[in-house]
């Protein structure tokens, strides 16, 4: 397709604010020391492969994928723990809903233990909890899933550091440039200011974006508490004048 001169019908995405995201090299989070690039990132204009991304639909999902209380039952009953629903909207930096984005989540169980061979924490596994879920945002960018509140756990960093309760999130948006993996924390958790991984983020306002708020208006009476976690992905810029060739 070397003769292809079609123009991209979609704008470029805004620049990523690298001072807002955590830097790669963050010594208090020790593992980053040997895993952080030492050279500057190379600026790359976004071409078609960065402005597009894989498409996922409801056909890719199992009906229980967004119900972590019930999607890993092995001995009967349901997962043990504080029943919660997490919901929110995925929007871009311009405030527009991001439709059809795959949202993947994973987490520890109520005791702070992951169902993973590398997790040696002494808290027991819950036979009815896997800790894996996913959903796709609707036309308004909304998503929700049901789970149990994960427990905090100790980890090898500065001897026994403690992770606050958290849920891992993976988002695709609609283009590879919007790809984002992050973690959600819970309002009021006293471990948040002590966490070296949260501490990789320099701006407190950025940390606050990762803290889900208790949403009492949406709580399910006599069933579940609800937390609201809105997510912002990079925004697509306007194309005021059609794509002109680069200066070079």
Partner 1 sequence: MPVPYLKETPSQTGGPYVHIGCLPHFAGLNLRTQEKLHVLAGGGVPGERIRIEGVVWDGSGHPLRDVMLELWQADSTGTYNAPGFRGWGRVGADPQTGLWGFETVRPGATPWIDGRPQAPHCSLLLFARGINIHLHTRIYFDDRPEANAADPALLSIELVNRRQTLIATRQAGGQGGSEVPTFRFDVHLQGEKETVFFDC
Catalytic site includes residue 121: no
Q: Does residue 207 contact residue 166 with C-beta atoms inside 8 Å?
A: no
239 binds partner 1 (CB under 8 A): no
Query: Which of 168, 165, 173 lies closest to 232 in space, CA to CA?
Result: 173
Q: How far apart are CA 126 and CA 147, in angstroms?
A: 13
Contact call for residue 168 and partner 1 (CB under 8 A): yes
Answer yes or no: 21 catalytic.
no
* Paired tokens of 182: 């992050």
Query: What 8-state DSSP symbol labels residue 151?
Result: P
Residue 122 in the binding site for partner 1 (CB under 8 A)? no
Site for partner 1 in 181-210 (CB under 8 A): 181-183, 197-198, 200-201, 205-207, 209-210
Exposure b/e, 226-238, CB count within 10 A at least 16 = b: bbbbebebbbbee
Of the two residues 80 and 219, which places its CB atom closer to partner 1 in the complex? 80
Stretch of residues binding partner 1 (CB under 8 A), selected from 28-36, 79-87, 142-150, 220-228 = 28-36
- Shortest distance, position 132 Cβ to partner 1, whole Å: 5
Given the residues 21, 83, 115, 168, select the one marked as catalytic. Answer: 168
Q: Which of residues 63-102 bind partner 1 (CB under 8 A)?
A: 71-72, 74, 91-95
DSSP helix/strand/coil, 176: helix
**Least distance (Å) between residue 29 CB and partner 1:** 7
**Residue whose CB is less far from partner 1, 85 or 114:** 114
Least distance CB 221 / partner 1 (angstroms): 30
d(CA 134, CA 140) in angstroms, rounded, equals 17
The site that binds partner 1 (CB under 8 A) totals a number of residues, namely: 90
Which DSSP state fits 184?
Answer: E
Euclidean distance between the first and the last CA atom of the chain, given in angstroms as a whole number: 23
Q: Which stretch binds partner 1 (CB under 8 A): 79-87, 138-146, 213-221, 226-234?
A: 226-234
Residue 48 makes contact with partner 1 by CB under 8 A: yes
Print burial letters for 212-225: b (CB count within 10 Å at least 16), e (below 16).
beebeeeeeeeebb
Give me the DSSP letters along 106-148: EE--TTS--SSTT---SSPPPTT---EEEEE--TTSEEEEEEE
Nearer Cβ to partner 1 (106/143): 106
Catalytic residue selected from 113, 163, 234, 236:
163
Does the annotation count 114 as an active-site position?
yes
Which residues are the active-site residues? 114, 153, 163, 166, 168
């Amino acid at each position: 397709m070397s003769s292809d001169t079609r123009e991209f019908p979609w704008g470029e995405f805004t620049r990523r604010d690298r001072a807002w995201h955590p830097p790669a090299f963050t010594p208090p989070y020790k593992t980053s020391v040997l895993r952080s690039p030492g050279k500057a990132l190379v600026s790359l204009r976004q071409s078609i492969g960065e402005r597009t991304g894989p498409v996922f639909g409801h056909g890719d999902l199992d009906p229980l994928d967004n119900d972590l209380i019930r999607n890993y039952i092995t001995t009967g009953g349901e997962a043990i723990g504080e029943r919660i629903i997490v919901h929110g909207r995925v929007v871009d930096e311009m405030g527009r809903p991001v439709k059809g984005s795959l949202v993947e989540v994973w987490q520890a169980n109520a005791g702070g233990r992951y169902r993973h061979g590398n997790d040696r924490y002494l808290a027991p596994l819950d036979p009815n909890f896997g800790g894996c879920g996913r959903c796709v945002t609707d036309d308004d960018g909304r998503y929700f899933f049901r789970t149990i509140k994960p427990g905090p756990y100790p980890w090898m960093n500065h001897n026994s550091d403690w992770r606050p309760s958290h849920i891992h999130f993976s988002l695709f948006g609609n283009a590879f440039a919007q790809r984002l993996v992050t973690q959600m924390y819970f309002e009021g958790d006293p471990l948040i200011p002590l966490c070296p991984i949260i501490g990789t983020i320099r701006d407190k306002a950025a940390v606050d974006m990762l803290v889900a708020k208790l949403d009492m208006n949406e709580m399910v009476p006599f069933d579940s508490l609800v937390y609201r976690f809105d997510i912002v992905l990079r925004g697509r810029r306007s194309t005021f004048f059609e794509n002109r060739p680069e200066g070079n």
